Structure 1
Amino acid sequence: MSHPKRLAILVGGGPAPGINSVISAATIRANLEGVEVLGIRDGFEWIMQGDIGHVQVLEIDEVSRIHFRGGSYIGISRANPTRDPQHLENVVISLLRLNVSMLVTIGGDDTAYSAMRVEEKAGGRIRVVHVPKTIDNDLDLPPPVDTFGFQTARHLGVDIVKNLMVDAKTTSRWYFVIAMGRKAGHLALGIGKAAGATLTLIPEEFTGEKVSLKTLVDTLVGAYIKRLSYGRRDGVAVLAEGLVFSLAPEDLAQLEEIERDAHGNLRLAEVNLGELLKAQVQKRLQGFGIKSTIVAKNIGYELRCADPIPFDMEYTRDLGYCAAKVLLSGGNALMVSMQGGHFVPVPFAQMLDSATGKARLRLVDIHSTRYAIARRYMIRLRRDDFEDPHELAKFAATVGLSLQQFRLEFEGLIAAEPPPLILEPEPHPSPAGSGCPD
């Protein structure tokens, strides 16, 4: 007697608001079509060891209201089955032992890659659909399409930064706020720009090259001096945690002992970028006779398991529905996306970066109008500052340097500054009726 086939749901990577909405919607859709749903607990952690004891049957009654809450109803982990062929084999065998013929994976770029490899290894025995989740917003979707959880994380991040900005002004101090974003600066820029932070630094500024720790420090010191010359001793800088990976090898050497996760990534929580920059900036300012109060603040864990805002609640319910529906309709080897209110499947083959063999990443476009506007509102040393002798004299006087000395110390920062933003107006249409026959 053949057993009924099942649909399984698995969550990998780090938490993001909206996971439970995907689980709920997918379960409801499958159950209503007579398909049993299994929740695979803790990502790939157990099934890649051949352990099928950590699963639970999901039914409509227990999941119909979990979409309001953050976290993951079936747990999560960063366990990576692609590093060991036996682990990948164990995943496929474990799912087949559980009579699973359809798998929904929920996760970021690493989980997407694992989903691709599982589908490939299953050889048609298990159909796999991936739902893109990451507050980093760095999966390769079209520019207007966010990964789920990003908007909730940004929303709450702005609230935190808004309060820190008031505290900074009240107490005459600076905050260095480290935002999550291992490979891309979407979250840091999204928070910093919306909140009106003093400046935001993201790894994309240094794309294609390694940056010295001194450059990061001087950028922050330059912003501090510029702000101080305007009579303000306070500020908030938002920094993407992925700046660690932009640092030159000699600067990263001191981080070699830091623990790495299952995907080989530095455990960024162990790399205290904020404290590192705080100490270096204060030391540099002391050299100019300036005493500063700087507080390093990491935000990220406060955002990842937050209850989703309505945008992400609706968005993720749509994604969960589509994931289940496309599997039940015979779909396979694709990522689910919603674009302009329409379901758009993204085949796994299109997600691979031929250079890395991994899932393709989406970075902040530093040549976009959006980024150019963000830069214009930041308080940081700019090319036009060095072209204005009055401004330059004010900055130099703030730190007791001559104009020439100030140039020597800081003018190198503007080398990588993007070109100025030029907005060309659209040509006006001809007046109605002109040039038309009677």
Structure 2
Amino acid sequence: MPTSRSLIPKAQVQPFVDSESRLGILHAGGPAPGGNQVIYAASLRARDHGLPILAFKQGYQHLMTKSAEEVESGWSMLIGREEIRYLRDQVSLLTGSGRANPGQNVRTGADMTDPERTAPLGRVIEVLDELRIGALISVGGDDTMRSANLIQMHLDGLLAKGKAPKYFRGVVHVPKTIDKDTPGIDYTFGYMSAAEVIGDRVKALHDDAKATATETELVYHVAEIMGRSAGWLCAAASVYGQATYAIVPEEFEAWGGVTMARLADDCCDVILTRKRQGKHYGVITIAEGLGDLLPAIDVNKDEFGHTRLDELKIAVHLADAIKRELSERVDIQIKLRSRTFGYEARQVRPNFFDVLLSQRLGVSAVDAILRGYFGHLVSVEGVLSAKFIPFSTLIDPETLKMHSWHMSKEEGLYRLMLSMQQQFDVDVEKKT
């Protein structure tokens, strides 16, 4: 006899079936490879238990601004066979995504008692309940996780007051970011695929520089790589793509800031060391998160208070600074070209690892709901074993923001990054 696909006791599923509840799922924030696979797997798992699943378009946007009838008719989709085929085979995110944030006005725990600030949270719960959503699967990064936590907190407050919604019971969250800076999970889906794609581009720049450099004219590329405040993506892509020298935020966190002149000075040390070794080419990678540590560059912030790192053009500034510094040290010709990598890696076909991880998280999200793990992050450990982590252990109680996870300078990927730079004959002591 085949093994049953369901390990969830029927008694735990029956209340959802009896109440004619549906499951809801939404994706918010920037896309990542594997987003469709999460929704695909969650939909199959829900169908195993006879539960319909309604996917909302463009994140929270329409749940905050439209009536339940409008959301049902134009801004959501009931996942059926046609949608499942698309989710299984296609890359571009079926539901689209959005950055609308129902918790944007909540800054501290005290704000949760302010009816005006929590009104958008209440509105989302009201619309979900009217749509017979028994539980919501939230897929997204740190801001989306924060929204999920605030919705759960607001719902818990309603329950404590005896104002329980008829259908809606809570939310679970699937972490998503190619930056891999989310605590509670070793690898977020999409990270491996994005690092591989960007690494391929870094390697192409390496080969281009090697092919075109001469003894009288050096050729270097400076590549800025996404990752926000953490260096995970830059480090992995740099190792995979054979970058000559990688610069990540973790290197300078103890300083509380760093200057472009300091970075250029280090890069010139690398370039001149390689020249003495007969190497006239290379690729320098820099994580976009260095922008938060460079006070000299003026830049706008988005509506959520985040620095618009894509506007900083760090690679351009660094290339210019290297040219100036190098001209003061030696009389030599150098071609320096700058690039920015990140957006082109957010909707590539997920690699084998990310397909497995995404599908496991989608299945586990439904299992978490049926087991009553509301207010939990859906994670994995070991060889794709499910793990559910309470929001409260991942959220700062003062700011209600998610903790950020950076590389350790003592072990792991950071040490590998340094070791592989040494493999390519770069012997420059870090000045930290």
Give the TM-score category using the shorter length: 0.7 to 0.9
1:239 has 2:286 as partner: yes
The structure 2 residue matched to 1:77, chosen from 95, 98, 118, is 98
Residue 3 of structure 1 and its aligned partner are, at CA, apart by 6.6
Q: Matches of residues 12-31 of structure 1 in structure 2 within 5 Å?
A: 12-31=28-47
Gaps spanning 5+ residues in structure 2: where?
1-17, 106-116, 160-167, 214-218
For the residues of structure 2 that align with 1:356 and 1:323, how far apart are their CA atoms? 26
Deviations 1:197-219 (A, max 9, x none): 10111101111321122111212
Aligned partner (choices 273, 277, 294) of residue 226 of structure 1: 273
Q: How does 1:80-159 map to 2 (within 5 A)?
A: 80-84=101-105, 85=117, 86-123=119-156, 125-141=168-184, 145-159=186-200
Instruction: Write the mapping of 1:313-324 to structure 2, written as runs, cut at 5 A.
Output: 313-324=355-366
Contact 1:28 1:60 in 2 (8 A): no
Distance 1:287 1:299 in 2: 30
Task: Supply the RMSD in Å over aligned alpha carbons.
Answer: 1.9
Query: 1:83 Cα deviation (Å)?
Result: 1.5
**Distance change >3 Å, CA 51–CA 222, structure 1 → 2:** farther
Larger CA deviation: 362-371 vs 304-313: 362-371
Structure 2 residue 344 is matched with structure 1 residue 302: yes
User: C-alpha separation between the residues in 2 aligned to 1:237 and 1:51?
Assistant: 51
CA distance in 2, matches of 1:243, 1:355: 26
For structure 1, the residue ranges without an aligned partner over 5 or more in a row are 384-413, 417-438
Relative distance call for 1:88 and 1:199 in structure 2 (3 A) is same
- Paired with 1:262 and 1:131, the residues of 2 have a C-alpha distance of 24
Q: Which of 305, 316, 335 is the matching residue for 1:275? A: 316
* Residue 364 of structure 1, aligned match among 407, 412, 417: 407
Q: State the secondary structure of the residue aligned to 2:317.
A: helix
Give the residue type in structure 2 aligned to 1:15.
P
| Aligned residue type for 2:376 | L
Secondary structure of the structure 2 residue equivalent to 1:83: coil
Residue 250 of structure 2: aligned partner: 204
**Residue 175 (1) aligns with residue 191 (2):** no
Paired residues for 1:405-416 under 5 Å: 414-416=430-432
8 Å Cα contact 1:79/1:262 also seen in 2: no
**Which residue of structure 2 lines up, in the alignment, with residue 433 of structure 1?**
none
297, 318, 325: which one pairs with 1:284? 325
Aligned pair in 2 of structure 1 residues 92, 134: CA closer, same or farther (>3 Å)?
same
The letter of the residue matching 1:19 is: G
Displacement after TM superposition at 1:51 (Å): 4.5
Distance 1:334 1:221, change over 3 A: same
Of the structure 1 ranges 349-358 and 154-163, higher mean CA displacement relative to structure 2 is found in 349-358
Q: How far apart in 2 are the matches of 1:226 and 1:67?
A: 50
1:376 aligned to 2:376?
no
Query: In structure 2, how many angstroms separate the alpha carbons of the residues matched to 1:70 and 1:111?
Result: 21
Residue type at the aligned position of 1:109 = D
User: Which of 196, 201, 208 is equivalent to 1:160?
Assistant: 201
Residue identity opposite 2:48 in structure 1: L
- SS in structure 1 at match of 2:407: coil
Identify which of 202, 210, 215 aligns with 2:262. 215
The whole-number CA distance in structure 2 between the counterparts of 1:373 and 1:28 is 39
Shift of 1:40: 0.9
For residue 333 of structure 2, give the secondary structure of its aligned residue in structure 1.
Answer: coil
Contact 1:30–1:328 under 8 Å retained in 2? no
Q: Distance in 2 between matches of 1:108 and 1:194?
A: 25
TM-score, normalised on structure 1?
A: 0.82
Amino acid at match of 1:21: Q
How many residue pairs were aligned? 377
Instruction: Name the counterpart of 2:12.
Output: none
Question: How far apart are the structure 2 equivalents of 1:67 and 1:220?
Answer: 45
Compute the TM-score of the two structures, normalised by the length of structure 2: 0.83
Whichever residue aligns with residue 336 of structure 1, its letter is V
Query: For 2:406 and 2:94, how far apart are their aligned partners in 1?
Result: 30
- Identity %, equivalent residues: 31
Alignment partner, residue 24 of structure 2: 8
Of stretches 198-207 and 88-97 in structure 1, the one that deviates more from structure 2 is 88-97
